[in-house]
Structure 1
Amino acid sequence: MAEASPGPGTRDRLLRLLADGAPRSGERLAEDLGISRAAVWKQVHQLQAAGYPVSAEVGQGYRWDRPWPLHEADALRAGLGESWAGIPLTVLPEVDSTNRWLRARGSGGPEMVIAERQTGGRGRLDRGWASPPGGIYLSVAWSFEALESGPAGLGLLVSLHLAETLRALGATRVGVKWPNDVMHEGAKLAGILCELSGDPMGRCTVVVGTGINWRADLVGPLEPGREAAGVADILPAPPPRPGLAGQLAAAVLEACQAYPDGFAPALRERWPALDTLAGRRITLQLANRIVTGEVQGVDETGALILRTAQGLERHLSGDTRVLPS
């Protein structure tokens, strides 16, 4: 009888067999997967190349070191809660970009996709976004009747909702960093990318992509001077990863539902308490210059207010870097 060849879902099935952290022999895995031991070895090497910490132990077999719970649709829906449990939800083991995948579907939403790993994740200004296994990579599609000011403000509102959700779970030192980051004691916890499809003067769709670190040790290489934090490291009693991902996705959906009518009140009443830049001296990288000054806060339009040597300035975009005290 001819041996079965590994199918497209073999690697994901192998990962789930190793998800309890116990060693499994190549022979047992081959039997469970219906493939040869040589094919198991190849699949393990593919997992290692993708960034999964799977090791081989002499006389024991293969082990996933410090495994994390994989996403499951039922657990995600439980985390979403009753209000959002019925939205279309796709769970992928791997994708180039959750935003790109959702935009290609042309869905008006609400709809959600989540992946264990991205091979071509992107951040603001089309920069690469390191998306190794272990993070929480999700995108939500939402339709609006009109967004004359564009989707930029939605990123601020999403970051605020995410930070408030994490604080409610016990991460009391989580804050927001203009324009689109969630922070913990100076280390980045999550980032948001909003992409618009359609005419902002009429009915349009925004896909909100969110990358959230689960554990700091799983984050890829960082730029000099940058630090990462993970939700599993900072929560006093972190919920299981799939359920937490569902709760964070619900926060994104709630922000979309509140935008744009609830945007200005949220910035006026809730943003200041979580603003990690207020009162700090920063550099702001603009398209053609760098501005230095002290952050005075964020106004109701989402603009950063910066006190510089020339006076007060408003900026709607740019990259910030905090200067040493």
Structure 2
Amino acid sequence: MKEHTIKLAILKTLSTGDFISGEELGEQLGVSRAAISKHIKGIQDWGIDIFRVQGKGYQLSQPLQLLDESILKASLNAPVELIPIIDSTNQYLLDRVNELESGSVCIAEYQAKGRGRRGREWVSPFGSNLYMSMFWRLDAGMAAAMGLSLVVGVAIVEALEKLGLNGVKLKWPNDLYYQDRKLAGILVEMSGQAGGAANLVIGMGMNLMMSEQTEGITQPWASLAEVADKEHIDRNQLAITMINTLNNALNDYEIYGMSGFVERWNRLDNFLGRPIKLIMGPREITGIAKGINEQGAVLLETENGVESFIGGEISLRGTES
């Protein structure tokens, strides 16, 4: 973290969107103009566009709202830690499960090694998105965690709705979609022993203002700015609402299980009533999506009737998953 102090200070100064010269930045931070130039290059490696105009100085391509740990802590009952630069928020919590309070949260501005489901990389440019993980101790054990990513998805969409952001849907088992494009991904990782409590780390990465030129994006994606129909999204308020809503949903899940979420999930199913294919290894099943059941399985109406499946990847029939 210490090695990033100057870069983060530069970003805070530039976050208004105004021009500022390398000389001014150097004077403020007690370093040379050459050092500022080097730090600017490092910031650009985080995926941030910074312009340099002769005679004016440096400027961000668009204003940047940084997350503020003091605002987050003042508005949350849950322990929250903001680590601007991190390898992975999920891994940070996984490494500390024995010392964390249930409901503890880690938030970052940039993940160097963000990951998604099935070991895929999650592209994580600085400040453009929201990267968040929550630790939860599930006393009912690992078997009770089946379908937890569905519960998390419901909570995140309901949090967006509380903020007036409507039209976001769910893709079984762990993605948020907007207009048939991926908006956010959920990754639940767990550890524990048979007969004991399950230690769960619930990660979520959401595109907020992702540049169309972002490297590493290989599938159609959506940004929350489209849903909001505006450039500015209050990232601190978004994080606070998501954390509070997720905390409430997980408490509900401990009491009611999946039965309390089936209707809530089906209301938000992006593929409900649509022809889809389910890919399970070398096997492909086609049918009409019929939502989920109380086990968290996806329901497909096939030529054999309505069947349930607990694994695989789904997509609209005739498209890639």
TM-score, normalised to structure 1's length?
0.89
Which residue does 1:123 correspond to in 2? 116
> After superposition, where does 1:146-225 map in structure 2 within 5 Å?
146-199=140-193, 201-217=195-211, 220-223=215-218
**1:132–1:220 Cα contact (<8 Å) kept:** no
CA offset at residue 169 of structure 1? 2.0
Q: 2:22 aligns with which of 26, 34, 37?
A: 26
Amino acid at match of 1:124: R
How far apart, CA to CA, are the structure 1 residues paired with 2:243 and 2:13? 27
Q: Deviations over 1:134-166 (max 9, x none)?
A: 110000001111234253411100100111121
**2:146–2:295 Cα contact (<8 Å) kept:** no
Q: 2:297 aligns with which of 296, 303, 312?
A: 303
Segments of 5+ residues of structure 2 without an aligned counterpart are none
**1:154–1:260 Cα contact (<8 Å) kept:** no
Q: 1:72 to 1:47 in 2, by over 3 A?
A: same
**1:92–1:114 Cα contact (<8 Å) kept:** yes
Which residue does 2:139 correspond to in 1? 145
Q: 1:103 aligns with which of 94, 97, 118?
A: 94
Segments of 5+ residues of structure 1 without an aligned counterpart are 1-5
CA offset at residue 248 of structure 1? 1.4
**2:190–2:200 Cα contact (<8 Å) kept:** yes
How far apart, CA to CA, are the structure 1 residues paired with 2:131 and 2:62? 20
How far apart, CA to CA, are the structure 2 residues paired with 1:53 and 1:71? 18
**2:108–2:131 Cα contact (<8 Å) kept:** yes
Amino acid at match of 2:20: R
Which residue does 1:50 correspond to in 2? 46
Which residue does 1:113 correspond to in 2? 106
How far apart, CA to CA, are the structure 2 residues paired with 1:168 and 1:236? 16
Q: Deviations over 1:272-310 (max 9, x none)?
A: 221111111112121342222211111011000112234
How far apart, CA to CA, are the structure 2 residues paired with 1:296 and 1:249? 29
**2:79–2:101 Cα contact (<8 Å) kept:** no
Query: Which of structure 1's runs of 4+ aligned residues deviate more than 6 A?
Result: none
**1:189–1:229 Cα contact (<8 Å) kept:** yes
Which residue does 2:310 correspond to in 1? 316
How far apart, CA to CA, are the structure 2 residues paired with 1:174 and 1:222? 20
**1:169–1:235 Cα contact (<8 Å) kept:** no
> After superposition, where does 1:243-322 map in structure 2 within 5 Å?
243-322=237-316
How far apart, CA to CA, are the structure 1 residues paired with 2:150 and 2:140? 18
How far apart, CA to CA, are the structure 2 residues paired with 1:313 and 1:278? 14
Tell me the SS of whatever aligns to 1:99. Answer: helix
> After superposition, where does 1:72-83 map in structure 2 within 5 Å?
72-77=68-73, 81=75
Amino acid at match of 1:244: L
Which residue does 1:36 correspond to in 2? 32
**1:267–1:299 Cα contact (<8 Å) kept:** no
TM-score, normalised to structure 2's length?
0.91
- Give the aligned length: 313
Which residue does 1:229 correspond to in 2? 222
> After superposition, where does 1:54-73 map in structure 2 within 5 Å?
54-73=50-69
CA offset at residue 256 of structure 1? 2.1
**2:90–2:201 Cα contact (<8 Å) kept:** yes
CA offset at residue 174 of structure 1? 1.3
Which residue does 1:17 correspond to in 2? 13
Aligned-residue CA RMSD (Å):
2.1
CA offset at residue 108 of structure 1? 4.5
Amino acid at match of 1:13: A
Amino acid at match of 1:91: L
Q: 1:230 to 1:256 in 2, by over 3 A?
A: same
Q: 1:282 to 1:16 in 2, by over 3 A?
A: same
Which residue does 1:93 correspond to in 2? 84
Tell me the SS of whatever aligns to 2:12. Answer: helix
Amino acid at match of 1:278: L
How far apart, CA to CA, are the structure 2 residues paired with 1:321 and 1:268? 20
Q: Which moved more, 1:54-63 or 1:309-318?
A: 309-318
Q: Which moved more, 1:20-29 or 1:7-16?
A: 7-16
